[in-house]
Structure 1
Amino acid sequence: MFRIEYLKLTDHPQLGEIELFLSDIEELNNNLKPYTSVIIGPNGTGKSFILRTISDILMQFNIFKTSEIRKINLPYSFQLRYFLEGNNYEIISSFIITNGRTKIRSYEYYMNRPFTIENSFFVNKKFDQYKIPFQKLEFPKYVIVNSILQTDRFLFKNSKPEDFYQYLGARSTSSTSSTKSSSRKTIKYLFNASSSNIDFKNNLKELLEFLGFEKSLKINYSTKINKLFFSGELIETNFKRYFEEWWHDDFSYSKRNQNNPLWSIPHYNNNFRNNDKKISDTVEYLNHVAKNKLIHKARSTSKILSIDLFDNNLSEEEFEIIRQLEYLDIINIDGIIINKNNSVLSLSDISSGEFHLIISMIGIFSKIENNCLILIDEPEISLHPNWQMQYISFLKKVFSKYQSCHFILTSHSHFIVSDLEGQSSSITALNRDNETGDIQAKLLLADTFCWSAEEVLYSVFNVRSTRNTFLEYDLNKMISLINNNSNDYNEIKKILQKFSSIVISEGDPLNIIIEKAQKYIKNA
């Protein structure tokens, strides 16, 4: 089981000094469901930077352990404490002054060190017995980062399947994204997961059902150069000539000059040239497809090759051949096809909320294993409020087999927060001090499952609505205590503390009641 427990930062370029508790330590033994931590706060409180910082720390130290790179490039001091498979691990950084002038950042590593807030950052010698060498530090299986934002804060990386850091964001390069690139990445995830993860297809069916779609998903490809590749009579010699002798006058399937090669030739040279077995298998598959699987495409000379992802006869070998045909530019992606209310829809036809949820979830489904950390930035964007209210329950349901994983989300949505179960979730609220500009974090130990929207707004987001019954309840209770000369001063102080965190205009009559209550406490 993996859980991030605690993070403290000092001199962080964007976050300054901040201390965060991201899971309730008392709940570490509760591993019946994946653990979800939600970080909430107004714009400008650094929610996305927190996720980026966590991923950067774990990624850099994992690289340090698994490669020959021996440099940590983190421009801040930190303490990170996490729980993994029965042990607590800590990485603590600080400055050491050398030669009276030069500052060098040093790192210390601990296992199962007793933890209190008082000894959290500066560790004295009495804890030396808990120090461990760096090589004994253990890490989660993967750090998976996900965002639908084109301007997400995560480090962009074209992650390979075996990489520790898995970028599943919207960008296809370090600065750009597109619907086409999202579809291409989604298909890659679909193929990889379908051939390697036995639970993936069932999870995908649950996702489609959650969104109101039928349990059907197909990937359509348009064919190219039909007279050659999809005649049903393709021979290996012509397959080779298309990529190796395309300029010859007696080869009628290509009109290109010798100095104008196909863009797919490098892939052919690296993967097919001199590999007669691979060429033979590909030609055999193309002839089989041409005779048995192609569908006519309306108003086009191309045809459609439709791959049913839930076809139990679909093999890993067929997935691989299809991938290779795309790289060779013999087929092109035409669309990902789903069904709703007996209508056939492409992903490009559905709402942005449906589209974003499908592609983000498919990405996570395709990568997740036990003991993973999953960081999701603002998943509520474009989602209908009904889906926002069910989002965390859905996460816990479809990832129920991955109880050992920790999901950390940032959100502005009070609907998402209303779906948190106290025993397997936590809320960390961020606020920026108006006077100092410092960001403050508070772990809220509240079970918000099935709370109403206005209760969440008032109790979690500190937002007062004009008809908020929960504010009215606290107000009436405080007035009653004062009018009855109650000596329950702690309860009055507790209510005043709630009121101090909400925005009240200067002329609001509520100020008179607050002032009266403050005098009552002062004169007690």
Structure 2
Amino acid sequence: MIRIEYLKLSNHPQLGSIELSLSDIKEINNLFKPYSSVIIGPNGTGKSFILREIAEIFRLFVELKNEERKTVSFSYDIHLRYKFHHNTYEIISREGFISAIKKEQRKEYVFYKNRPLNVEFFDSKSLSFIITNYEVLFRELEFPNRLIVNSILQTDRFVFKNNKPDNFYQYLGARSTNSTSSTKSASRKTIKYLFNSSTSDNDFLKNLRDLLSFLDFEKKLQINYTTKINKLFFSGNLSERNFRRYYEEWWHDDFEFSNRKKENPLWSVPYYQNNFQLNPNLIASIVEFLNRISKDKLIHKPRSSAKIISVDLFDNDMSNKDMEMLRHLEALDIINLDGIKINKNNSTMSLNDVSSGEFHLIISMIGIFSQIKNDSIVLIDEPEVSLHPNWQMQYITFLKKVFSKYPSCHFILTSHSHFIVSDLEGESSSVTSINRDEEGKLKTKLIEADTYGWSAEEVLYSVFNVRTTRNLYIEKDIRELLHLISVKSNKVKYIKEILKKIEPLVLNEIDPLNLVINKAREYVNL
């Protein structure tokens, strides 16, 4: 079980100093469902930066433990506390030595295991750390099994990485490079996840059906490829010699399947050289596969000389090896991705033609389905973007349903959506709000409330502290305030609590709410 309890950052370039709790300690040992934490707050409060820093702390220290890097040094101070199974760990930075090369202060880190929250570890008089029996060596730390980061925003804050299947850090964002993104590259990544997971995870197809049903699609999903150079590769009698010549002797006059010059090789030649040229067994396998599918797997494409190879994920007679062959064919530029096809209202459409909300939810969920393991941290930035309100209201419930076999995981989301907050049940969820005070400093609060099933107005008022026209909950508090004043109540503390809730909701100087607030302030001598 992995649960992040607490994060503190100091002197951060964007966030300044901030500390926030991300789990309700009373519920942290609930292992019936995955734990979900939602971070809310106005634009500009740094919610996305918080997710990035959580990701970076874990990513860099895991790389250090796996000897993929030699040092870790943040330019700001960090304090991260997390629970992993029966132990609680802390990573805390402190000033270290002066770098002789860069003439700058380098951070050092101290690590604790099962340290009670009320134990002081810094002596303010001597300005030094107190060594306690809770301090442990770095190699004694345990880390989550996987860190998954997800965002549909092209400008997401996460560090971009090209994932390998066994990597600890899995980037599932919209970008295909550090600076570019496209729906086609997103579709290609999705197909890779679909192929890998449909053949290795028995629950994957069930989860995929649940996702399609949630979005009112039929339980059918096809991946289509368009063939190229049919006369050579899809004749049904391709030879290994001609396969080799296409990538090794394309310029020869007696090779009828290419009219390229020697100085103009195919862009896929390097892939052939790296994977096939010195591997005759692989060449034999892919030639056998091409001849076999040419006889029984090709579909004529309307108004085109090309043909289609179609793979139905829910009715698939291809083996794992066949799926691998398809990936090779695409990399060799023998087939092109034609698209992912899904069905709705008895009609077939391309995944690229569905609404942006449907596209992003399908893409992101398939990615998470394919990468999640027990004891994973999953960070999702603003999942409500482009989502219909009906889906927002069911998002967390759906998340916990399809990932119910991973109750040891911790999902942390940022959101502006009151609908998502209204879907949070108290036993396995928390809400952390972020706001700026009058001096511009970030203030956070763990909201201890079961918001499941709350109305939109109640969430907006009680959680987001937003006033809406004729909000029933604001009116209720105003009526209560006026009643307490009229009966000369001695509940001064309660009156101050109501005042604190409604004071930030004043629209302008002529707002009638000012009269009520001034009257209440006079009554309690504020």
Q: TM-score w.r.t. structure 2 length?
A: 0.95
Is residue 8 of structure 2 the alignment partner of residue 33 of structure 1? no
Structure 1 counterpart of 2:79: 79
How far off its partner does 1:149 sit? 0.5
Structure 1 counterpart of 2:225: 221
Structure 1 counterpart of 2:440: 437
Structure 2 counterpart of 1:468: 471
Structure 1 counterpart of 2:428: 424
Unaligned regions of 5+ residues in structure 1, if any? Answer: none
Structure 1 counterpart of 2:4: 4
Distance in 1 (CA, whole Å) between partners of 2:123 and 2:173 is 36
Structure 2 counterpart of 1:512: 515
Unaligned regions of 5+ residues in structure 2, if any? Answer: none
Is residue 284 of structure 2 the alignment partner of residue 291 of structure 1? no
Structure 1 counterpart of 2:381: 377
Distance in 1 (CA, whole Å) between partners of 2:21 and 2:34 is 17
Structure 2 counterpart of 1:63: 63
Whether the 8 Å CA contact 1:457–1:464 is kept in 2: the answer is yes
Structure 2 counterpart of 1:269: 273
Distance in 2 (CA, whole Å) between partners of 1:179 and 1:519 is 60
How far off its partner does 1:363 sit? 0.8
What amino acid is aligned across from residue 73 of structure 1 in structure 2? Answer: S
Distance in 2 (CA, whole Å) between partners of 1:312 and 1:267 is 27
Whether the 8 Å CA contact 2:111–2:137 is kept in 1: the answer is yes
What amino acid is aligned across from residue 55 of structure 1 in structure 2? Answer: A
How far off its partner does 1:19 sit? 0.7
Is residue 207 of structure 2 the alignment partner of residue 207 of structure 1? no
**Aligned with residue 189 of structure 1, among 183, 193, 196:** 193
Structure 1 counterpart of 2:16: 16
Number of aligned residues: 520
Structure 1 counterpart of 2:400: 396
**Aligned with residue 113 of structure 1, among 115, 123, 128:** 115
How far off its partner does 1:156 sit? 0.9
Structure 2 counterpart of 1:448: 451
Whether the 8 Å CA contact 1:218–1:307 is kept in 2: the answer is yes
**C-alpha distance after superposition, 1:318-367 (max 9, x if no partner):** 11111001111110000000000110010111111111111011111110
Distance in 2 (CA, whole Å) between partners of 1:18 and 1:430 is 9
Whether the 8 Å CA contact 1:150–1:170 is kept in 2: the answer is yes
Distance in 1 (CA, whole Å) between partners of 2:123 and 2:148 is 30
Distance in 2 (CA, whole Å) between partners of 1:185 and 1:122 is 51
Distance in 2 (CA, whole Å) between partners of 1:478 and 1:187 is 58
How far off its partner does 1:267 sit? 1.1
Whether the 8 Å CA contact 1:247–1:258 is kept in 2: the answer is yes
How far off its partner does 1:132 sit? 0.6
How far off its partner does 1:5 sit? 0.4
Q: 1:102 to 1:305 in 2, by over 3 A?
A: closer
Q: Secondary structure at the match of 1:348?
A: helix
**C-alpha distance after superposition, 1:83-103 (max 9, x if no partner):** 11111000011224779x974
Taking only the aligned residue pairs, the percentage that are identical comes to 62
Q: Secondary structure at the match of 2:524?
A: helix
How far off its partner does 1:280 sit? 1.5
How far off its partner does 1:31 sit? 1.2
Structure 2 counterpart of 1:42: 42
Identify which range, 345-354 or 65-74, moves more after superposition. Answer: 65-74
Structure 2 counterpart of 1:500: 503
Q: 1:517 to 1:503 in 2, by over 3 A?
A: closer
Distance in 1 (CA, whole Å) between partners of 2:349 and 2:122 is 54
Identify which range, 419-428 or 256-265, moves more after superposition. Answer: 256-265
How far off its partner does 1:462 sit? 0.7
Q: Secondary structure at the match of 2:132?
A: helix
Whether the 8 Å CA contact 1:419–1:450 is kept in 2: the answer is yes
**C-alpha distance after superposition, 1:11-65 (max 9, x if no partner):** 0000000010001011111111111111111111000000011111111111111
Q: Secondary structure at the match of 2:14?
A: coil
**C-alpha distance after superposition, 1:54-77 (max 9, x if no partner):** 111111111111115222131100
Whether the 8 Å CA contact 1:463–1:503 is kept in 2: the answer is no
How far off its partner does 1:311 sit? 2.6
**Aligned with residue 369 of structure 2, among 365, 386, 389:** 365
What amino acid is aligned across from residue 228 of structure 1 in structure 2? Answer: L
Q: Secondary structure at the match of 1:243?
A: helix
RMSD over equivalenced CA pairs, Å: 1.8
**C-alpha distance after superposition, 1:379-427 (max 9, x if no partner):** 1111111111111111111111111111111111111111111111111
Distance in 1 (CA, whole Å) between partners of 2:277 and 2:97 is 59
Identify which range, 451-460 or 234-243, moves more after superposition. Answer: 234-243
Distance in 2 (CA, whole Å) between partners of 1:75 and 1:270 is 40
**Aligned with residue 142 of structure 2, among 138, 142, 154:** 138
Distance in 2 (CA, whole Å) between partners of 1:198 and 1:120 is 48
Distance in 1 (CA, whole Å) between partners of 2:195 and 2:353 is 22
Q: Secondary structure at the match of 1:206?
A: helix
What amino acid is aligned across from residue 155 of structure 2 in structure 1? Answer: T
What amino acid is aligned across from residue 236 of structure 2 in structure 1? Answer: G
How far off its partner does 1:490 sit? 2.5
Q: TM-score w.r.t. structure 1 length?
A: 0.96
Distance in 1 (CA, whole Å) between partners of 2:256 and 2:389 is 58
**C-alpha distance after superposition, 1:222-244 (max 9, x if no partner):** 00000111111112221111112
**C-alpha distance after superposition, 1:280-303 (max 9, x if no partner):** 211111111111011110111110
How far off its partner does 1:264 sit? 1.0
Distance in 1 (CA, whole Å) between partners of 2:228 and 2:98 is 66
What amino acid is aligned across from residue 35 of structure 1 in structure 2? Answer: Y
How far off its partner does 1:121 sit? 7.7
What amino acid is aligned across from residue 494 of structure 1 in structure 2? Answer: E
Distance in 1 (CA, whole Å) between partners of 2:444 and 2:506 is 18
Q: Secondary structure at the match of 2:145?
A: coil
What amino acid is aligned across from residue 185 of structure 1 in structure 2? Answer: K
Q: Secondary structure at the match of 2:45?
A: coil
How far off its partner does 1:119 sit? 4.2
Whether the 8 Å CA contact 1:236–1:283 is kept in 2: the answer is yes
Structure 2 counterpart of 1:477: 480
Whether the 8 Å CA contact 1:454–1:465 is kept in 2: the answer is yes
What amino acid is aligned across from residue 203 of structure 1 in structure 2? Answer: N
Whether the 8 Å CA contact 1:113–1:127 is kept in 2: the answer is no
**Aligned with residue 521 of structure 1, among 516, 520, 524:** 524
Q: Secondary structure at the match of 1:237?
A: helix
**Aligned with residue 152 of structure 2, among 140, 148, 153:** 148
Q: Secondary structure at the match of 1:457?
A: helix
Whether the 8 Å CA contact 2:123–2:129 is kept in 1: the answer is no
Distance in 2 (CA, whole Å) between partners of 1:68 and 1:294 is 45
Q: 1:14 to 1:281 in 2, by over 3 A?
A: same
Is residue 184 of structure 2 the alignment partner of residue 180 of structure 1? yes
User: Moved runs in structure 1, 4+ residues, more than 6 A?
Assistant: 120-127
Whether the 8 Å CA contact 1:79–1:121 is kept in 2: the answer is no
